């Protein structure tokens, strides 16, 4: 579904990804494991189009999207939840979740359908939907960021260290949610990064290791 | 006493309105692009020259003099359409994410180019065209005479403050702008075409500066050196209000406008430095300006 082929990325003149190749399949969850600084975030940002790719190719289905701007990749259904939540503090939680619908000019029925889907998967969000984005805790913010990414995701979902900073109970909850998502959304190819794999064993279809910018 | 203070206040508020248009554009562009555009005052100057030229042409062509009102707004729109997208795409975008030193150098270069352009097109003469002010006349209340044009300026500034706030919180494009201000990369990854937001915001900033200049011509005309003078004043106002703060810029413009007329009346030698004395005092007490916050970026 989504493939990276021999992708090389440099940030500020330093090679951060070296010839990275990976393939994601609809309905399957891939885990990308690596230490701090290994290149996990960079891999996701390269797929999303937030960093220029120096060499190699990124394919979504049959289409090469290596030079497509990030906002168009979002329109093609690639959803991304960054590791730091990045909510708009002035907007309510619900408006943060709805922001992609506004950006992509989704028609009202489609917008409502996707929002219902998000609330069905993450009912915790319903209780905080009117709170300002700047006024939720770190863990709650991660849920909001997941909800927002799900509004975008039609083909692929990229989650950057979703468990980082979550209390154990919340992390278990979150892992269950991701399992549900994998079963309930066969259209989505899911890629999750982690530094500690334990929680994801149950839902991983495939596990990749990244080390110093290269996948073994 | 009141008979002198109230007309002074109206004078102060009218000049506050003009400087507000420039400062709020500067602050808007800074929030979205994260570039302090040193050339911003030049758009005020060009707006003034274009408006004065069109005004003089309307008069010489014998057209209906009331056309000179829409012509003021039309002048600002021409300047914005001519320079906004062009300057943003060809120049500003190369400075995004670069160091502040580079941003200041590049926009200072733009300032020099625009100053020369202004000199080539309009020459070094001053232009005066006050038809709109004459047409509106004045109102006498008690012993005090008010220029209606000044009241119009104050009203327009209020409309711009309220209009910008409504645009940012209620309209689709305004909410997308707010998201870009909050986090550019997040905005892109949820589907916002940030380039379009940059072009639009910059063009709106140019329009507001040019509108200030155009609206100033009936009372002040257009003269060489206007760009630099306005830039420094607008920067002082934006800094007092807190960079990125719309309501802050409005309040700061009022304070600076009133400080100036008070200085003119009570201590004429301080007229030119009054805004900077205010800036110094405010920034000593609140380094990020009246409405500014160090950590969060707001608009
Ligand atoms: N903006 C940047 N400027 C310079 N180097 C960077 C930048 N961003 C990342 N890097 C470097 O790229 C490498 C990979 O970074 P990346 O953020 O992808 O790692 P990560 O696996 O996500 O790490 P973490 O677990 O800490 O989030 C690191 O060595 C980092 O120092
Ligand atoms: Mg990371």
Looking at residue B269, what DSSP letter applies?
G
Asked whether A34 lines ligand 1 (CB < 6 A), one says yes
The predicted structure's pLDDT at residue A91: 95
Asked whether A134 lines ligand 1 (CB < 6 A), one says no
Asked whether A40 lines ligand 1 (CB < 6 A), one says yes
Chain B residues within 8 A of A150 when measuring between CB atoms: none
Checking A88-91 for CB contacts under 8 A at 24+ apart, the result is A88/A133, A88/B178, A88/B179, A88/B182, A88/B183, A89/A132, A89/A133, A89/A134, A89/A135, A89/B182, A89/B296, A90/A132, A90/A133, A90/A134, A90/B178, A90/B182, A90/B298, A91/A132, A91/A133, A91/B175, A91/B178, A91/B179
The predicted structure's pLDDT at residue B299: 57
Asked whether A196 lines ligand 1 (CB < 6 A), one says no
Q: Cα–chain-centroid distance for residue B51?
A: 15
Here the tokens at position B69 are 């009102």
Q: Which of A21, A12, A20, A24 is nearest to A204 (CA)?
A: A24
> Is residue A120 exposed (0-12), middle (13-18) or buried (19+ Cβ within 10 Å)?
exposed
Q: Cα–chain-centroid distance for residue B99?
A: 25
Here the tokens at position B238 are 């934006």
Tell me which residues of chain B have a pLDDT lower than 50: 296
The predicted structure's pLDDT at residue B294: 61
Which residue has tokens 């937001």? B197
A99, B175: Cβ pair inside 8 Å?
A: yes
Q: Which of A29, A63, A31 is nearest to A49 (CA)?
A: A63
Question: What dihedral do alpha carbons B122, B25, B251, B280 form, nearest 10°?
Answer: -80
The predicted structure's pLDDT at residue B164: 96
The predicted structure's pLDDT at residue B226: 92
Chain A residues within 8 A of B189 when measuring between CB atoms: 48, 50, 70-71, 74, 80, 82, 152
Q: What is the CATH number of domain A2-215?
A: 3.40.50.300
Helix (H) or strand (E) holding A14: strand A14-24
Look at residue A193 and give its three-state secondary structure: strand
Index of the ligand 1 atom closest to the CA of residue A39 = 18
The predicted structure's pLDDT at residue B298: 56
The predicted structure's pLDDT at residue B106: 97
Here the tokens at position B271 are 């007229």
CA triple A14-B88-B287, angle to 5 deg = 75
Index of the ligand 1 atom closest to the CA of residue A43 = 18
What are the structural domain ranges in chain A? 2-215
Closest-approach residue (CA) in chain B for A72 = B191
Instruction: Say how many Å lie between the CA of residue A7 and the centre of ligand 2.
Output: 18
ipTM of the complex: 0.93
- The pLDDT tens digits of the residues spanning B213-257 come to 999 999 999 999 999 999 999 999 999 999 889 999 999 999 999
The predicted structure's pLDDT at residue B293: 75
The predicted structure's pLDDT at residue B259: 92
Index of the ligand 1 atom closest to the CA of residue A40 = 21
> Is residue B260 exposed (0-12), middle (13-18) or buried (19+ Cβ within 10 Å)?
buried
The predicted structure's pLDDT at residue A146: 94
Across chain B, where does the E strand assignment appear? 138-141, 144-147
Distance CA B101, CA A112 (A): 47
CB pairs under 8 A between A and B: 65
Asked whether A36 lines ligand 1 (CB < 6 A), one says yes
Cα separation of the two ends of chain A: 21
Pick the CATH number of B2-285 from 3.30.160, 1.10.3470, 1.20.950, 3.60.70: 1.10.3470
At what angle are helices B100-122 and B40-60 packed, to 10 degrees? Answer: 20
The predicted structure's pLDDT at residue A42: 95
Whole-prediction pTM: 0.93
The predicted structure's pLDDT at residue A175: 87
Establish if B99 touches chain A: CB-CB under 8 angstroms: no
pLDDT along chain A (216 residues), means of 10: 92 90 93 92 95 92 92 97 91 97 96 96 94 90 94 96 85 88 93 82 87 86
Q: Which of B58, B102, B111, B56 is nearest to B83 (CA)?
A: B111
B16 contacts B258 by C-beta, under 8 angstroms: yes
Q: Which residues are within 8 A (CB) of B94 and not within 5 positions of it... i.e. 6 or more apart?
A: B106
Looking at residue A132, what DSSP letter applies?
B
């Amino acid at each position: 579904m989504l493939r990276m082929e021999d992708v090389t990325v440099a940030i500020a003149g330093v090679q951060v990804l070296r010839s990275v190749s990976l393939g994601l399949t609809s309905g399957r969850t891939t885990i990308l494991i690596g230490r701090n600084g290994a290149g996990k975030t960079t891999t996701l940002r390269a797929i999303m189009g937030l960093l220029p790719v120096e060499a190699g190719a990124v394919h979504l289905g049959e289409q090469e999207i290596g030079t497509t701007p990030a906002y168009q990749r979002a329109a093609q259904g690639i959803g991304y939840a960054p590791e730091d939540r990045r909510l708009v503090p002035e907007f309510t939680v619900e408006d943060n979740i709805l922001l992609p619908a506004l950006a992509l000019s989704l028609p009202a029925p489609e917008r409502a359908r996707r929002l219902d889907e998000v609330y069905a998967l993450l009912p915790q969000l319903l209780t905080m939907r009117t709170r300002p984005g700047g006024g939720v805790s770190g863990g709650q913010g991660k849920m909001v960021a997941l909800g927002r990414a799900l509004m975008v995701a039609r083909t692929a979902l990229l989650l950057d260290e979703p468990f980082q900073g979550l209390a154990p109970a919340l992390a278990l909850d979150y892992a269950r949610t991701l399992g549900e998502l994998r079963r309930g959304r066969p259209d989505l190819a899911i890629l999750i990064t982690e530094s500690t794999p334990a929680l994801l064993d149950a839902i991983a279809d495939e596990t990749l290791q990244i080390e110093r910018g290269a996948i073994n | 006493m009141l008979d002198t203070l109230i007309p002074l206040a109206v004078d102060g508020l009218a000049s506050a309105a003009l400087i507000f248009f420039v400062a709020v554009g500067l602050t808007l562009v800074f929030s979205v692009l994260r570039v302090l555009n040193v050339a911003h005052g030049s758009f005020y100057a060009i707006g003034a020259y274009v408006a004065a030229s069109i005004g003089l042409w309307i008069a010489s062509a014998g057209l209906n003099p009331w056309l000179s009102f829409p012509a003021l707004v039309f002048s600002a729109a021409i300047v914005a359409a001519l320079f906004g997208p062009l300057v943003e795409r060809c120049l500003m975008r190369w400075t995004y994410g670069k160091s502040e030193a580079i941003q200041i150098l590049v926009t200072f270069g733009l300032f020099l180019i625009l100053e020369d352009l202004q000199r080539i097109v309009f020459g070094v003469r001053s232009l005066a065209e006050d038809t709109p002010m004459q047409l509106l006349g004045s109102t006498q209340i008690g012993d005090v005479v008010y220029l209606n044009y000044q009241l119009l300026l104050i009203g327009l500034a209020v409309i711009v403050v309220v209009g910008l706030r409504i645009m940012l919180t209620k309209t689709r494009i305004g909410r997308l702008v707010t998201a870009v201000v909050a986090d550019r990369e997040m905005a892109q990854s949820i589907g916002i075409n940030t380039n379009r937001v940059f072009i639009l915001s910059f063009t709106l900033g140019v329009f507001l500066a040019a509108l200030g200049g155009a609206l100033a011509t009936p009372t002040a005309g257009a003269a060489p050196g206007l760009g630099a003078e306005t830039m420094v004043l607008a920067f002082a106002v934006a800094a007092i209000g807190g960079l990125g703060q719309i309501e802050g810029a409005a309040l700061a413009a009022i304070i600076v406008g009133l400080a100036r007329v008070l200085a003119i009346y009570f201590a004429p030698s301080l007229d030119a430095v009054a805004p900077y004395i205010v800036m110094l005092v405010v920034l000593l007490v609140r380094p990020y300006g009246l409405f500014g916050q160090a950590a969060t970026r707001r608009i």
